[in-house]
Amino acid sequence: MGERLSTNHSGDFMALLRARGLWREPEAVPAGQARAPVQEVHGTTVIALKYRDGVLNVGDRRATAANAIMYDRAEKILPLDDYTLIAIAGSYARAMEIVRYLQHSFKYYARTQLQEMSLEGKLAEVSRALAGNLSMALQGIGMFIPVVSAYDLDRGEGRIFFYDGMGARFESVEFGAAGSGSERIRGVFDYILKTKGPFHEMTLEEALRECLLLLDIAADLDSATAGIEKVLPIARAVTAEGILEITEEQLAEIKKSLKL
């Protein structure tokens, strides 16, 4: 028989880990003590757009370390549960560690409380994890910025949230983006809104087309962004029916229509 989950922590997965000695906050390096150089692998550009049926997330596949390309098949769009996606940019190792923690935290809450965690609870848990990572970020390692997309079943709409390094949360009306390439294309989002209308009125195909164009522009302006030429990006959407996987065939068809 497997070990029974304790319910003494009221669904608080982090408290459970601490009680069992499995979670410890990162420690700051003492003042004046040199830190050994760490060559971190970073994920670069991720984009989230609202569309007619929910929120579309697209990310290039490149992971870099300084000026070197380390990997061109990185997974940067990850499901936290059936109705929540997280797009990660920054320290890839630390981001993946926290993503795994969040996935288990949501499951632990559901199993101990016999109900799903509320959207507000999920967003607060992301803030909590980022705040716990602050000491590492201040040392120049482990810094990452997520974009969280969720389908709000109570409101019947997709929602996009972005964070700063201290865990402060903000909600976006139409789009969100993170990573080095996102800074280069920030104005392009507004241009699309003003010339083509709101993203939330677009079909999935129209939103995919805009995302691929945005990634292509980002790659032209940012050397750390892979774009769409060599390797197709990763794309997932969150809808009222749950997580929607966008196939490479769908992406290839959209790319072909762009005639880049």
The reply to whether 10 falls in a domain is: no
Residues that are catalytic: 44
The reply to whether 2 falls in a domain is: no
The reply to whether 17 falls in a domain is: no
The reply to whether 7 falls in a domain is: no
0.85 exceeded by the pTM?
A: yes
What percent of the chain stands above pLDDT 90?
73
Convert the pLDDT of each residue in 161-193 to its tens digit.
Answer: 999 989 999 999 999 999 999 999 999 999 999
Convert the pLDDT of each residue in 123-165 to its tens digit.
Answer: 999 999 999 998 888 888 888 999 999 999 999 999 999 999 8
Residue 71, pLDDT above cutoff 80: yes
The reply to whether 252 falls in a domain is: yes
Convert the pLDDT of each residue in 92-131 to its tens digit.
Answer: 999 999 999 999 999 999 999 999 999 999 999 999 999 9
Nearest CA among 246, 251, 238, 256 for reference residue 48: 238
Question: Token digits for 210?
Answer: 């805009």
The reply to whether 13 falls in a domain is: no
CATH number of the domain at 123, please. Answer: 3.60.20.10
The reply to whether 78 falls in a domain is: yes
Domain span at 216: 40-258
Q: What are phi and psi of 28, to 5 degrees?
A: -75, 145
Residue 83, pLDDT above cutoff 90: yes
Q: What strands, in cross-sheet order, belong to the sheet with 234-239?
A: 175-178, 46-51, 54-59, 234-239, 242-245
Domain count of the fold of the chain: 1
Q: What torsion do the CA atoms of 185, 231, 49, 156 make, to the nearest 10 degrees?
A: -170
Query: Which residues are bridge partners to 166 per DSSP?
Result: none
pLDDT of residue 3: 45
The whole-chain average pLDDT of the chain stands at: 90
Whole-number Å distance between alpha carbons of 71 and 98: 20
pLDDT of residue 24: 65
The reply to whether 97 falls in a domain is: yes
- Choice between 200 and 4, residue whose per-residue pLDDT is larger: 200
pLDDT of residue 5: 47
Residue 32, pLDDT above cutoff 60: no
